[in-house]
Amino acid sequence: MTNTSAISRRQILLFAGLATTGVIRPVAAAPRAPLAEGELRGSLQAAQFDITPEARDVSGRKFRKILAKAAAENKPVFLPPGTYPISNLDLPDNVRLTGVPGASRLLYTGEGYMLRAEGLRRAEISNIVIDGGNGWLSDQTAGLFAARAVSELIIENCDIIGASKTALHLERSSARIEGNRISGAADYALYAVEGRTSSVTNNRVSNCGNGGILIHRWTKGADGTQVTGNRVTDIGARSGGTGPFGNAINIFRADDVMVANNHIRGSAFSAIRANAASNVMIASNQCLASGETAIYSEFGFEGALVTGNLVDGAANGISVVNFDTGGRLATIANNIVRNITDQGPYVHDNVGFGFGISAEADAAVSGNVIENIARFGMLAGWGPYLRNLSISGNIVRRAATGMAVSVVEDAGQALIANNLFDETPKGAIIGYRWHDAATTDLVEGSSRYRHLTISGNRRA
């Protein structure tokens, strides 16, 4: 017998002896009454205030009373599973409203507005189904949930459905919108204007009539919102137009915004559209089956980093343009762009559709792989709107023309070096005067166009 076994037996005998002498006595567990759910959660229970599923006065005095009481006591309000009809509910400061995910439902009864938060320091809603029932919203109501001037707004793990306008409409607020499922909004899933360092993270957005996630400002300025890890699908453009509607993620006049790691499929127009948005980062997104330009940085911006994205299916791939209105300063690197058609959702009166990557001013375009493009693999400048482009180390395969570069008067300088072109039947590098091809293939270089430096490129 080993020493280990002997020690174990001695220990057993020792404890048995102590128990018989009363040194160690087993204590029987006292019966314990089950905790009420409110005690367990540290919350106020809606039922304690006669707020029960299907009650017709949920939005009235009783519900406001429990919300105000809980906010004053720094406690959450818990809604058990069931449907709670409401209308015209103004949230108090410091409110925390929670329930059972997918089972605790607030149902809008169509009497003007559903939920409103205004001038609050803090408000939080989590684990609730917010169901608009596609009900009428008043002309003064922009969204199913409308927030204005809220310093800290948290909406987490909620289902937001059936909005006859926008699902979430936020003004001058700092928000964390995380892990929600937003679908079926007639206009937008989220419209946030004049925000401050908000985050829109890991939400599922689908089947919205005019747009997905919109980060806007009334006047151009710093915003700092992060739009990351969202899944956005099937975004329409029921109001028509040539780009204001139909975008999965739309940044307008909001500077310092990050759009990263989103999965986007089936946008009527752009997967990601940044308009007059400086210092924008568009990185590591999947952009599939876009109806117009998949990734757009346009009009009056300075600074755009577009890197590591995958674009598959669009009328244009990546466009970083509008030098005529001050659009400049960009890096477009390490993207994959493929399966680009020349058929867009409207008749284009400018450059048109069917190009992979387009850039105009003060930009580096490098390390991209571009394949199966209807017209131009790359478009360098447009008319005189060309300045300081460096286009190097890209691969273009199966494009009607590998690259179109502007050769009109007053076009600025471009360096085109060390790119690979394969299966480009109309030429690898062709000089264009606006819409018209004006040169033979320049892939070997040319001394005629002094603004162009072309070297080290290969055409299969």
Residue 41, helix vs strand vs coil: helix
Give CA–CA dist 346/237, Å, rounded: 12
Predicted pLDDT at 62: 79
- CB under 8 Å to 448, separation ≥6 — which residues? 439
Asked if residue 217 is part of any domain, the answer here is yes
């343009």: which residue's tokens? 321
Name the residue among 423, 422, 429 with its Cα closest to residue 389: 429
Asked if residue 35 is part of any domain, the answer here is no
Asked if residue 277 is part of any domain, the answer here is yes
Beta 458-459 vs 95-99: how paired, if at all? unpaired
Residue 191, helix vs strand vs coil: strand
Predicted pLDDT at 56: 57
Asked if residue 422 is part of any domain, the answer here is yes
The string of pLDDT tens digits covering residues 312-332 is: 999 999 999 999 999 999 999
Predicted pLDDT at 434: 96
- Global pTM reads 0.90
Predicted pLDDT at 177: 98
Asked if residue 303 is part of any domain, the answer here is yes
Domain containing 445 equals 94-459
The string of pLDDT tens digits covering residues 250-272 is: 999 999 999 999 999 999 999 99
Please state, in angstroms and as integers, the Cα–Cα distance from residue 343 to each residue in 132, 292, 313, 351, 354, following that order: 36, 8, 11, 13, 7
The CATH number given to whatever domain includes residue 397 is: 2.160.20
Predicted pLDDT at 259: 99
Could you count the other beta carbons within 10 Å of the beta carbon of residue 248? 34
Give CA–CA dist 292/269, Å, rounded: 4
Give CA–CA dist 134/444, Å, rounded: 62
Which DSSP string corresponds to 393-405?
Answer: S-EEEEEEEEEEE
Residue 13 burial (C-beta neighbours within 10 Å; 0-12, 13-18, 19+): exposed
Predicted pLDDT at 427: 98
Which DSSP string corresponds to 313-343?
Answer: EESEEEEE--GGGT-EEEEEES-EEEEE-S-
Predicted pLDDT at 288: 98
Asked if residue 28 is part of any domain, the answer here is no
Name residues of the chain where pLDDT drops below 50: 1-41
Asked if residue 56 is part of any domain, the answer here is no
Number of structural domains the chain divides into: 1
Asked if residue 71 is part of any domain, the answer here is no
Q: Please give the share of the chain, as a percent, with pLDDT higher than 90.
A: 84
Token pair listed for 257: 């915004």
Which DSSP string corresponds to 227-247?
Answer: EES-EEEEE--TT-SSSSSSE
Contact 247, 290 (CB under 8 A): no
Token pair listed for 109: 């009864």
Where do the DSSP E strands lie in 60-186?
Answer: 77-79, 82-86, 89-90, 95-99, 104-108, 115-118, 122-126, 129-131, 143-148, 152-156, 159-161, 166-171, 175-178, 181-183
Give CA–CA dist 379/395, Å, rounded: 14
Give CA–CA dist 261/235, Å, rounded: 18
